[in-house]
Amino acid sequence: GVVYNYNEEGIHRAETGWEQCISIPLVQPDMFGLLQEWDKLLEEFSVGEAWLPHRYEEHDYNCYTYALAFINSVLAAQGKQQMSKSEFTEKFVIPQTKKASKYITLHQELTANEFYIVPLPDQEKQC
């Protein structure tokens, strides 16, 4: 898909270059309608004056602020309570980073010790 991001040069849309990022699922499976509108909502949100390059500030008004502001705009449109930075970090970011950290550590250990992974016989049939 397309990744939207915000930095000192403004809003960017990229189809490549984010292969090493962590994806954090935000939309519940029962909210399929929202998934259909997500791109349109994100595009509309991103053209606002709030995200002009001169407003960017590395520590207080950055890509994290942009992502959280978009999420909060969707929550507000649904009549739901908005999230603070700390709540969003605790609920969504930390759990995914912990999983990624465990995976990276395991991968590094396997690679360092010259292990490789092959599917079990039962799993081969499922693929």
Angle between helix 63-77 and helix 32-46 axes, rounded to 10 deg: 130
Determine the pLDDT at residue 82: 95
Cβ–Cβ under 8 Å, residues 8 and 53: yes
pLDDT tens, position by position, 27-75: 776 676 777 788 889 999 999 899 999 999 999 999 999 999 999 999 9
Report the candidate in 49, 51, 47 with the shortest Cα–Cα distance to residue 68: 51
DSSP assignment letter at 93 = I
* Cβ contacts of 49 within 8 Å, gap of 6 or more: none
pLDDT band at 116 (very low <50, low <70, confident <90, very high): confident
How many beta carbons lie within 10 A of that of residue 88, not counting itself?
A: 19
pLDDT of residue 122: 72
Total number of residues shown for the chain = 127
Whole-structure pTM value: 0.76
Q: How confident is the model at residue 124 (pLDDT cuts 50, 70, 90)?
A: low
> In degrees rounded to 5, what are phi and psi of residue 72?
-65, -30
Summarised one tens digit per residue, pLDDT across range 68-102 is 999 999 999 889 999 999 999 999 899 999 999 99
pLDDT on residue 12: 95
Return the pLDDT at 126: 55
